[in-house]
Each structure stands twice: as structure tokens, then as C-alpha cells.
Amino acid sequence: QVQLVESGGGSVEAGGSLRLSCAVSRDTSSSRRYSMAWFRQYPGDEREGVAAIDGFSRSTYRDSVKGRFNISQDTAQTTLYLQMNSLKPEDTAIYYCAADDDRWYVPSRNRADYKYWGQGTQVTVSS
């Protein structure tokens, strides 16, 4: 069983930065690797993939955040990060982390590829 807990959300002005963290609770005695990702959700919309990273630390980003956001993880995959710089009002959303071990070798931003989810953290960017 894998449990994910996000933290680091909050309110900032446009142009500011936030760093989200996702604590991953899992059986660390296992050598199993995971693909992990950050998603966000606007009111009334479906979750969209923001950035993803695989067990080899290869990453992929949504076009709208390229050059501004950076996804990273520690070697043991017990913590996932999302460094968000040059934030814009349109980045305002609830951000979720996700993990899966089936296709751990592919950094996927498709929500259907993930079965473990955190509870979300609110990010608000004011203009």
C-alpha cells in the first residue's frame, strides 16, 4: 500500500515561487520503483497532468509550465517535489501528487496511469 501526502501549497503573488512536496509512505525494503506525477484540477474540470517523473528520473512537462516548473524526487522515491517559479494566476488550482508501479519506467501525465493519489493542496496565485 502506498500513501501520499502533499504539502507546501499556499497563496502567492504573480511572479512568485512555491515548492510543493509529496511524502510517499511505502515499503522501502522493496526495490520496486514508481512513476510519479503532479496533477492539478480547476473547479469543474478534470485533473490535468502538470509534470511526471519515472523510476529513472526522466521527466515530462505540460507545455504551459515548461521552463517554470521543475519536478524532482529523492533517490529512494520517498519524497516528490514540484518547484514552481514565475507563477501565474492561471496556475491557481488544487495540486495532487500521484504514483504507480505498473509502468514505473515511463513518465506519464495521463491520470489513468496512476492508482495512488494524495489528498491535494491548494495553490492560489493573485495578480
Query: Within the chain, what is the greatest distance between any pair of CA atoms?
Result: 46
- Cα separation, 127 vs 109, whole angstroms: 28
Mean pLDDT confidence for 50-71: 98
Mean pLDDT confidence for 78-104: 97
Mean pLDDT confidence for 44-63: 97
- Cα separation, 22 vs 81, whole angstroms: 6
- pLDDT band for position 102 (cuts 50, 70, 90): very high
